[in-house]
Structure 1
Amino acid sequence: MNEFGTTSDQSVRFDSAPVVDETAGNEQHSIQTYVSDMLALERHIAQPLKRQLDMQDTAKYGGALTVISQLQSLCASHVTALEQCLEQLGGHAASPVKSAWSSLLGAGAAAIDSARKTKVSKNLRDDYTALSLASISYTMLYATSAGLGDATVGDLAKRHLADYARIVMQINQVIPDVVLQELRDDGETVQTGAAELIRQTTNEVWKTQADVTH
Protein backbone atom coordinates (compact mmCIF):
# COMPACT_ATOMS: atom_id res chain seq x y z
CA MET A 1 0.00 0.00 0.00
CA ASN A 2 1.40 3.34 -0.97
CA GLU A 3 2.38 5.74 1.80
CA PHE A 4 0.96 8.64 -0.13
CA GLY A 5 -2.30 7.16 -1.37
CA THR A 6 -3.48 6.13 -4.78
CA THR A 7 -6.47 6.88 -6.93
CA SER A 8 -8.55 4.78 -9.26
CA ASP A 9 -9.65 7.87 -11.15
CA GLN A 10 -8.59 7.32 -14.75
CA SER A 11 -8.79 11.04 -15.52
CA VAL A 12 -5.62 11.93 -13.61
CA ARG A 13 -3.79 14.71 -15.36
CA PHE A 14 -0.24 15.93 -14.97
CA ASP A 15 -1.24 19.57 -15.08
CA SER A 16 -3.61 20.21 -12.21
CA ALA A 17 -5.27 22.97 -14.25
CA PRO A 18 -6.79 25.02 -11.41
CA VAL A 19 -9.82 27.14 -12.11
CA VAL A 20 -8.50 30.60 -12.91
CA ASP A 21 -9.83 33.97 -13.95
CA GLU A 22 -10.26 33.71 -17.71
CA THR A 23 -9.40 37.42 -18.05
CA ALA A 24 -6.02 36.99 -16.40
CA GLY A 25 -2.93 37.07 -18.57
CA ASN A 26 -0.93 34.02 -19.52
CA GLU A 27 1.72 34.93 -16.97
CA GLN A 28 -0.76 34.98 -14.11
CA HIS A 29 -2.28 31.71 -15.32
CA SER A 30 1.13 30.02 -15.39
CA ILE A 31 1.98 31.06 -11.85
CA GLN A 32 -1.46 30.13 -10.55
CA THR A 33 -1.11 26.68 -12.10
CA TYR A 34 2.30 26.07 -10.52
CA VAL A 35 1.14 27.26 -7.10
CA SER A 36 -1.95 25.06 -7.32
CA ASP A 37 0.23 22.08 -8.27
CA MET A 38 2.51 22.70 -5.31
CA LEU A 39 -0.42 22.94 -2.93
CA ALA A 40 -1.72 19.58 -4.15
CA LEU A 41 1.74 18.04 -3.77
CA GLU A 42 2.25 19.40 -0.26
CA ARG A 43 -1.12 18.01 0.81
CA HIS A 44 -0.12 14.57 -0.48
CA ILE A 45 3.23 14.73 1.30
CA ALA A 46 1.42 15.55 4.55
CA GLN A 47 -0.95 12.59 4.42
CA PRO A 48 1.29 9.78 5.77
CA LEU A 49 3.31 11.81 8.28
CA LYS A 50 0.98 11.54 11.27
CA ARG A 51 0.71 7.78 10.75
CA GLN A 52 4.49 7.54 10.58
CA LEU A 53 4.84 9.47 13.83
CA ASP A 54 2.22 7.33 15.54
CA MET A 55 4.04 4.09 14.67
CA GLN A 56 5.64 2.49 17.72
CA ASP A 57 8.67 1.59 15.62
CA THR A 58 9.36 5.25 14.82
CA ALA A 59 9.76 6.12 18.49
CA LYS A 60 12.69 3.69 18.72
CA TYR A 61 14.75 5.81 16.35
CA GLY A 62 15.32 9.28 17.78
CA GLY A 63 16.79 10.68 14.59
CA ALA A 64 13.91 9.45 12.46
CA LEU A 65 11.34 10.76 14.94
CA THR A 66 12.96 14.20 14.93
CA VAL A 67 13.21 14.54 11.17
CA ILE A 68 9.64 13.32 10.52
CA SER A 69 8.31 15.70 13.19
CA GLN A 70 10.15 18.60 11.58
CA LEU A 71 8.86 17.58 8.16
CA GLN A 72 5.28 17.46 9.42
CA SER A 73 5.59 20.97 10.86
CA LEU A 74 7.17 22.37 7.70
CA CYS A 75 4.62 20.70 5.47
CA ALA A 76 1.74 22.19 7.44
CA SER A 77 3.25 25.67 7.23
CA HIS A 78 3.85 25.23 3.50
CA VAL A 79 0.22 24.25 2.91
CA THR A 80 -0.98 27.35 4.76
CA ALA A 81 1.40 29.63 2.86
CA LEU A 82 0.44 28.16 -0.52
CA GLU A 83 -3.27 28.44 0.25
CA GLN A 84 -2.81 32.12 1.09
CA CYS A 85 -0.65 32.68 -1.98
CA LEU A 86 -3.14 31.00 -4.31
CA GLU A 87 -5.99 33.03 -2.84
CA GLN A 88 -4.04 36.25 -3.43
CA LEU A 89 -3.41 35.17 -7.02
CA GLY A 90 -7.12 34.53 -7.54
CA GLY A 91 -6.74 30.84 -8.28
CA HIS A 92 -8.34 27.76 -6.78
CA ALA A 93 -6.83 24.51 -5.54
CA ALA A 94 -6.97 21.51 -7.86
CA SER A 95 -9.18 18.57 -6.94
CA PRO A 96 -7.18 16.17 -4.73
CA VAL A 97 -8.67 13.21 -6.60
CA LYS A 98 -7.63 14.51 -9.99
CA SER A 99 -4.20 15.72 -8.93
CA ALA A 100 -1.40 13.89 -10.71
CA TRP A 101 0.65 13.69 -7.51
CA SER A 102 -1.52 10.90 -6.13
CA SER A 103 -0.57 8.82 -9.15
CA LEU A 104 3.12 9.74 -9.16
CA LEU A 105 3.63 9.20 -5.46
CA GLY A 106 1.49 6.10 -5.64
CA ALA A 107 3.86 4.32 -7.97
CA GLY A 108 6.95 4.88 -5.86
CA ALA A 109 6.00 2.79 -2.86
CA ALA A 110 3.78 0.20 -4.50
CA ALA A 111 6.32 -2.58 -4.02
CA ILE A 112 6.70 -2.11 -0.27
CA ASP A 113 5.68 -5.09 1.81
CA SER A 114 4.09 -3.76 4.99
CA ALA A 115 5.00 -6.94 6.83
CA ARG A 116 8.74 -6.27 6.56
CA LYS A 117 10.66 -5.13 9.61
CA THR A 118 12.24 -2.18 7.80
CA LYS A 119 9.21 0.07 8.07
CA VAL A 120 10.99 3.14 9.45
CA SER A 121 13.76 3.19 6.85
CA LYS A 122 11.18 2.63 4.10
CA ASN A 123 9.12 5.53 5.45
CA LEU A 124 12.18 7.77 5.37
CA ARG A 125 12.92 6.61 1.84
CA ASP A 126 9.39 7.47 0.74
CA ASP A 127 9.60 10.87 2.44
CA TYR A 128 12.94 11.50 0.72
CA THR A 129 11.40 10.60 -2.65
CA ALA A 130 8.47 12.95 -2.10
CA LEU A 131 10.78 15.77 -1.01
CA SER A 132 12.95 15.29 -4.09
CA LEU A 133 9.84 15.75 -6.22
CA ALA A 134 8.86 18.80 -4.18
CA SER A 135 12.36 20.27 -4.48
CA ILE A 136 12.50 20.15 -8.27
CA SER A 137 8.92 21.41 -8.40
CA TYR A 138 9.78 24.40 -6.20
CA THR A 139 12.79 25.05 -8.43
CA MET A 140 10.42 25.15 -11.40
CA LEU A 141 8.06 27.45 -9.51
CA TYR A 142 10.97 29.75 -8.67
CA ALA A 143 12.15 29.76 -12.28
CA THR A 144 8.65 30.59 -13.49
CA SER A 145 8.07 33.37 -10.97
CA ALA A 146 11.54 34.86 -11.46
CA GLY A 147 11.17 34.74 -15.21
CA LEU A 148 7.78 36.42 -15.06
CA GLY A 149 8.80 38.98 -12.45
CA ASP A 150 6.71 37.81 -9.48
CA ALA A 151 9.06 38.38 -6.54
CA THR A 152 6.49 37.38 -3.91
CA VAL A 153 5.94 33.88 -5.30
CA GLY A 154 9.65 33.60 -6.02
CA ASP A 155 10.52 34.28 -2.39
CA LEU A 156 7.98 31.68 -1.25
CA ALA A 157 9.45 29.08 -3.61
CA LYS A 158 12.99 29.77 -2.36
CA ARG A 159 11.96 29.48 1.29
CA HIS A 160 10.15 26.20 0.78
CA LEU A 161 12.98 24.80 -1.34
CA ALA A 162 15.47 25.67 1.40
CA ASP A 163 13.27 23.99 4.01
CA TYR A 164 13.15 20.72 2.10
CA ALA A 165 16.80 20.80 1.09
CA ARG A 166 17.60 20.87 4.81
CA ILE A 167 15.26 17.95 5.56
CA VAL A 168 16.69 15.89 2.69
CA MET A 169 20.18 16.42 4.09
CA GLN A 170 18.98 15.43 7.56
CA ILE A 171 17.48 12.22 6.20
CA ASN A 172 20.83 11.43 4.58
CA GLN A 173 22.48 11.70 7.99
CA VAL A 174 19.82 9.70 9.85
CA ILE A 175 19.17 6.84 7.44
CA PRO A 176 22.41 4.86 8.04
CA ASP A 177 21.66 4.47 11.75
CA VAL A 178 18.07 3.44 11.07
CA VAL A 179 18.99 0.85 8.43
CA LEU A 180 21.73 -0.65 10.58
CA GLN A 181 19.55 -0.78 13.70
CA GLU A 182 16.82 -2.52 11.73
CA LEU A 183 19.40 -5.09 10.65
CA ARG A 184 20.39 -5.63 14.28
CA ASP A 185 16.75 -5.97 15.27
CA ASP A 186 16.45 -8.64 12.59
CA GLY A 187 19.31 -10.59 14.18
CA GLU A 188 22.06 -9.54 11.78
CA THR A 189 25.63 -8.77 12.88
CA VAL A 190 26.55 -5.23 11.90
CA GLN A 191 30.10 -3.97 11.53
CA THR A 192 31.25 -1.57 14.26
CA GLY A 193 31.52 2.00 13.00
CA ALA A 194 29.55 1.27 9.85
CA ALA A 195 27.11 4.15 10.32
CA GLU A 196 29.81 6.80 10.50
CA LEU A 197 31.64 5.32 7.52
CA ILE A 198 28.42 5.38 5.49
CA ARG A 199 27.79 9.02 6.41
CA GLN A 200 31.32 10.06 5.54
CA THR A 201 31.17 8.25 2.21
CA THR A 202 27.79 9.58 1.13
CA ASN A 203 28.63 13.11 2.28
CA GLU A 204 31.82 12.99 0.24
CA VAL A 205 29.93 11.75 -2.81
CA TRP A 206 27.47 14.64 -2.60
CA LYS A 207 30.22 17.20 -1.96
CA THR A 208 32.36 15.92 -4.83
CA GLN A 209 29.50 15.97 -7.30
CA ALA A 210 28.41 19.43 -6.14
CA ASP A 211 31.94 20.68 -6.80
CA VAL A 212 31.94 19.08 -10.26
CA THR A 213 28.71 20.79 -11.30
CA HIS A 214 29.86 24.30 -10.35
Structure 2
Amino acid sequence: PGLLLAAALDEAEPGQTILLLSATEGADAFVLRVGDGVRAARGGPTVRAQLAARQRLGYGRYLRWRGLLDVQGPARPASPAPAAPPMHRRAGWKYRLEGSRCDACGRVTTPPGRVCASCGTAGSGTAPVSLRDRTARVVSVTRDHLTTMPEPEVAIVVADVDGGGRLSAYATDVAPADVAVGMAMNPVFRRLWTTDSIHNYFWKLRPAPADAAPGKDTADGQ
Protein backbone atom coordinates (compact mmCIF):
# COMPACT_ATOMS: atom_id res chain seq x y z
CA PRO A 1 0.00 0.00 0.00
CA GLY A 2 2.81 2.42 0.76
CA LEU A 3 4.37 1.97 -2.67
CA LEU A 4 0.98 2.29 -4.36
CA LEU A 5 0.32 5.51 -2.47
CA ALA A 6 3.76 6.87 -3.39
CA ALA A 7 3.10 6.03 -7.06
CA ALA A 8 -0.26 7.80 -6.92
CA LEU A 9 1.28 10.89 -5.31
CA ASP A 10 3.90 11.01 -8.07
CA GLU A 11 1.13 11.83 -10.54
CA ALA A 12 -1.50 13.44 -8.31
CA GLU A 13 -2.50 17.08 -8.66
CA PRO A 14 -3.36 19.46 -5.79
CA GLY A 15 -6.96 19.13 -4.68
CA GLN A 16 -7.45 15.55 -5.88
CA THR A 17 -8.73 12.81 -3.56
CA ILE A 18 -6.96 9.47 -3.17
CA LEU A 19 -8.60 6.32 -1.77
CA LEU A 20 -6.10 3.82 -0.37
CA LEU A 21 -7.66 0.42 0.32
CA SER A 22 -5.87 -2.54 1.86
CA ALA A 23 -7.77 -5.84 1.95
CA THR A 24 -5.07 -8.14 3.37
CA GLU A 25 -5.61 -9.71 6.82
CA GLY A 26 -8.58 -7.46 7.38
CA ALA A 27 -9.54 -4.27 5.60
CA ASP A 28 -8.32 -0.69 5.98
CA ALA A 29 -9.41 2.34 3.99
CA PHE A 30 -7.81 5.80 3.93
CA VAL A 31 -9.19 8.85 2.14
CA LEU A 32 -6.52 11.48 1.47
CA ARG A 33 -6.73 14.95 -0.04
CA VAL A 34 -3.70 16.05 -2.05
CA GLY A 35 -2.26 19.30 -0.70
CA ASP A 36 -0.81 22.28 -2.57
CA GLY A 37 2.76 21.32 -1.63
CA VAL A 38 2.74 17.91 -3.31
CA ARG A 39 4.89 19.06 -6.23
CA ALA A 40 7.51 20.66 -4.00
CA ALA A 41 7.68 17.45 -1.92
CA ARG A 42 8.79 15.36 -4.91
CA GLY A 43 12.52 15.32 -4.32
CA GLY A 44 13.56 12.05 -5.96
CA PRO A 45 12.81 9.76 -8.89
CA THR A 46 9.24 8.53 -9.25
CA VAL A 47 8.20 4.98 -8.40
CA ARG A 48 7.58 4.34 -12.09
CA ALA A 49 11.10 5.54 -12.98
CA GLN A 50 12.65 3.34 -10.27
CA LEU A 51 10.76 0.31 -11.56
CA ALA A 52 11.92 1.03 -15.10
CA ALA A 53 15.57 1.17 -13.93
CA ARG A 54 15.40 -1.85 -11.63
CA GLN A 55 18.22 -4.36 -11.79
CA ARG A 56 18.05 -8.13 -11.69
CA LEU A 57 19.05 -9.68 -8.35
CA GLY A 58 19.84 -13.37 -8.07
CA TYR A 59 17.93 -15.36 -5.46
CA GLY A 60 21.16 -16.64 -3.88
CA ARG A 61 22.43 -13.10 -3.41
CA TYR A 62 19.13 -12.04 -1.90
CA LEU A 63 19.32 -14.92 0.62
CA ARG A 64 22.89 -14.01 1.57
CA TRP A 65 22.12 -10.36 2.16
CA ARG A 66 19.04 -11.18 4.24
CA GLY A 67 21.03 -13.57 6.40
CA LEU A 68 18.92 -16.56 5.32
CA LEU A 69 21.88 -18.41 3.79
CA ASP A 70 25.12 -18.89 5.73
CA VAL A 71 28.32 -18.30 3.80
CA GLN A 72 31.94 -18.73 4.76
CA GLY A 73 33.28 -15.65 6.52
CA PRO A 74 36.12 -13.49 5.17
CA ALA A 75 39.76 -14.25 5.86
CA ARG A 76 40.08 -11.34 8.23
CA PRO A 77 38.89 -10.54 11.78
CA ALA A 78 35.28 -9.49 12.17
CA SER A 79 34.69 -5.75 12.22
CA PRO A 80 33.95 -4.36 15.70
CA ALA A 81 30.38 -3.58 16.63
CA PRO A 82 29.53 0.15 16.62
CA ALA A 83 29.56 1.88 20.00
CA ALA A 84 27.18 4.66 21.01
CA PRO A 85 29.69 7.22 22.48
CA PRO A 86 31.89 7.64 19.36
CA MET A 87 28.82 7.66 17.11
CA HIS A 88 27.35 10.46 19.22
CA ARG A 89 30.58 12.46 19.19
CA ARG A 90 30.84 12.16 15.40
CA ALA A 91 27.14 12.46 14.63
CA GLY A 92 27.67 15.24 12.10
CA TRP A 93 30.09 13.11 10.09
CA LYS A 94 28.34 9.76 10.50
CA TYR A 95 24.73 10.75 9.92
CA ARG A 96 24.91 14.04 7.97
CA LEU A 97 28.25 13.56 6.16
CA GLU A 98 29.52 16.94 7.29
CA GLY A 99 33.09 18.07 6.64
CA SER A 100 34.75 21.16 8.07
CA ARG A 101 35.69 24.23 6.04
CA CYS A 102 38.85 26.07 7.10
CA ASP A 103 38.45 29.80 7.74
CA ALA A 104 42.08 30.40 6.73
CA CYS A 105 42.25 28.72 3.31
CA GLY A 106 38.64 27.74 2.60
CA ARG A 107 39.45 24.06 1.95
CA VAL A 108 37.22 21.25 3.22
CA THR A 109 38.60 18.57 5.58
CA THR A 110 37.01 15.12 5.76
CA PRO A 111 36.45 13.70 8.32
CA PRO A 112 36.02 17.07 10.06
CA GLY A 113 38.78 18.13 12.42
CA ARG A 114 40.17 21.10 14.30
CA VAL A 115 43.30 21.09 12.15
CA CYS A 116 42.98 21.85 8.43
CA ALA A 117 44.25 18.94 6.32
CA SER A 118 45.29 21.36 3.56
CA CYS A 119 47.13 24.27 5.22
CA GLY A 120 47.70 22.79 8.68
CA THR A 121 46.07 25.72 10.47
CA ALA A 122 44.85 24.70 13.94
CA GLY A 123 42.15 26.38 15.96
CA SER A 124 41.28 28.96 13.30
CA GLY A 125 37.61 28.05 13.53
CA THR A 126 35.96 25.61 11.15
CA ALA A 127 32.41 25.68 9.82
CA PRO A 128 30.52 22.44 9.08
CA VAL A 129 29.65 21.85 5.43
CA SER A 130 27.30 19.12 4.21
CA LEU A 131 28.54 16.79 1.46
CA ARG A 132 25.54 14.45 1.30
CA ASP A 133 23.83 16.14 -1.67
CA ARG A 134 26.96 16.73 -3.72
CA THR A 135 28.56 14.77 -6.55
CA ALA A 136 31.93 13.07 -6.07
CA ARG A 137 34.36 12.04 -8.83
CA VAL A 138 36.31 8.79 -8.47
CA VAL A 139 40.10 9.26 -8.42
CA SER A 140 41.10 5.74 -7.26
CA VAL A 141 39.50 2.27 -7.22
CA THR A 142 40.47 -0.82 -5.21
CA ARG A 143 38.69 -4.16 -5.56
CA ASP A 144 38.53 -5.89 -2.17
CA HIS A 145 38.36 -9.71 -2.27
CA LEU A 146 38.45 -10.06 1.55
CA THR A 147 35.34 -8.03 2.26
CA THR A 148 33.26 -8.63 5.39
CA MET A 149 30.14 -8.37 3.22
CA PRO A 150 28.42 -11.46 1.80
CA GLU A 151 29.93 -10.80 -1.64
CA PRO A 152 33.01 -12.26 -3.38
CA GLU A 153 34.36 -8.74 -3.92
CA VAL A 154 33.44 -5.08 -3.54
CA ALA A 155 34.91 -1.86 -4.91
CA ILE A 156 36.39 0.71 -2.53
CA VAL A 157 36.77 4.15 -4.07
CA VAL A 158 38.46 7.42 -3.22
CA ALA A 159 36.48 10.32 -4.66
CA ASP A 160 36.84 14.10 -4.70
CA VAL A 161 33.65 15.95 -3.81
CA ASP A 162 32.52 18.89 -5.92
CA GLY A 163 33.19 22.02 -3.89
CA GLY A 164 35.86 20.42 -1.70
CA GLY A 165 36.45 17.34 0.40
CA ARG A 166 37.51 13.77 -0.29
CA LEU A 167 35.65 10.55 0.54
CA SER A 168 36.80 6.96 0.87
CA ALA A 169 33.83 4.62 0.69
CA TYR A 170 32.39 1.39 -0.65
CA ALA A 171 30.80 1.58 -4.09
CA THR A 172 27.25 0.27 -4.23
CA ASP A 173 24.51 -0.32 -6.81
CA VAL A 174 27.21 -1.11 -9.37
CA ALA A 175 29.36 -4.12 -10.23
CA PRO A 176 32.96 -3.67 -8.95
CA ALA A 177 34.37 -4.17 -12.45
CA ASP A 178 32.26 -1.27 -13.77
CA VAL A 179 33.67 1.33 -11.35
CA ALA A 180 36.15 3.56 -13.16
CA VAL A 181 38.25 6.63 -12.47
CA GLY A 182 36.29 9.76 -13.34
CA MET A 183 32.88 8.21 -12.61
CA ALA A 184 30.41 10.58 -10.98
CA MET A 185 28.91 9.18 -7.76
CA ASN A 186 26.47 10.33 -5.08
CA PRO A 187 26.54 9.53 -1.34
CA VAL A 188 23.86 7.20 0.02
CA PHE A 189 23.35 6.03 3.62
CA ARG A 190 23.61 2.23 3.78
CA ARG A 191 24.43 -0.66 6.11
CA LEU A 192 28.13 -1.55 6.22
CA TRP A 193 28.19 -4.70 8.34
CA THR A 194 26.59 -6.43 11.31
CA THR A 195 28.53 -7.65 14.36
CA ASP A 196 26.84 -9.31 17.35
CA SER A 197 23.45 -8.46 15.81
CA ILE A 198 24.33 -4.74 15.85
CA HIS A 199 24.13 -3.00 12.47
CA ASN A 200 26.66 -0.36 11.50
CA TYR A 201 25.51 2.24 8.99
CA PHE A 202 27.56 4.79 7.09
CA TRP A 203 27.78 6.37 3.65
CA LYS A 204 28.53 4.52 0.45
CA LEU A 205 28.85 5.93 -3.06
CA ARG A 206 26.65 4.90 -5.94
CA PRO A 207 26.81 6.02 -9.59
CA ALA A 208 25.08 9.28 -10.37
CA PRO A 209 22.03 8.80 -12.64
CA ALA A 210 23.96 9.79 -15.78
CA ASP A 211 26.69 7.18 -15.06
CA ALA A 212 24.41 4.36 -13.90
CA ALA A 213 24.23 1.25 -16.06
CA PRO A 214 20.70 -0.24 -15.91
CA GLY A 215 20.41 -3.97 -16.35
CA LYS A 216 23.64 -4.93 -14.58
CA ASP A 217 23.83 -6.68 -11.24
CA THR A 218 24.29 -4.48 -8.21
CA ALA A 219 27.34 -4.75 -5.98
CA ASP A 220 25.18 -5.27 -2.92
CA GLY A 221 21.57 -5.09 -1.85
CA GLN A 222 21.90 -2.79 1.17
Alignment TM class, shorter chain as reference: under 0.3
**Bigger proportion of residues as helix:** 1
Whichever of the two has the greater Rg, that structure is 2
